[in-house]
């Protein structure tokens, strides 16, 4: 994952969500476990093509000196 994301990813079991998100004086480090490499995969998605932006319509009230 490091070529894609340079920080550690936290992957939790659904049963641990509430405990992980709850306020605690001490962080719930016991929930952090090493995920087996076959449990997580990354795939490259094609970069979306940006949609062309519409040109703003001219507002006749903007010009003090007549039409542009």
| Residues present in the chain in total | 68
Is residue 65 included in any domain, yes or no?
A: no
What Å distances lie between residue 21 and 7, 13, 26, 46, 55, CA to CA?
19, 13, 12, 33, 45
Residue 14: alpha-carbon gap to chain centroid: 20
- pTM exceeds cut of 0.85: no
Task: Give tens-digit pLDDT for 56-67.
Answer: 666 556 555 656
Positions in the chain whose pLDDT score sits under 70: 1-8, 56-68
The total of structural domains in the chain comes to 1
Structural domain span for residue 18: 1-41
Backbone angles phi, psi at 63, to 5 degrees: -90, 130
Is residue 6 included in any domain, yes or no?
A: yes
């Amino acid at each position: 994952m490091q070529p894609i994301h340079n920080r550690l990813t936290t992957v939790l079991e659904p049963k641990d969500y509430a405990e992980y998100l709850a306020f605690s004086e001490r962080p719930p480090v016991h929930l952090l476990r090493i995920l087996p490499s076959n449990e997580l995969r990354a795939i490259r998605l094609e970069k979306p093509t940006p949609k062309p932006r519409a040109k703003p319509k001219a507002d006749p009230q903007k010009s003090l000196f007549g039409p542009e």
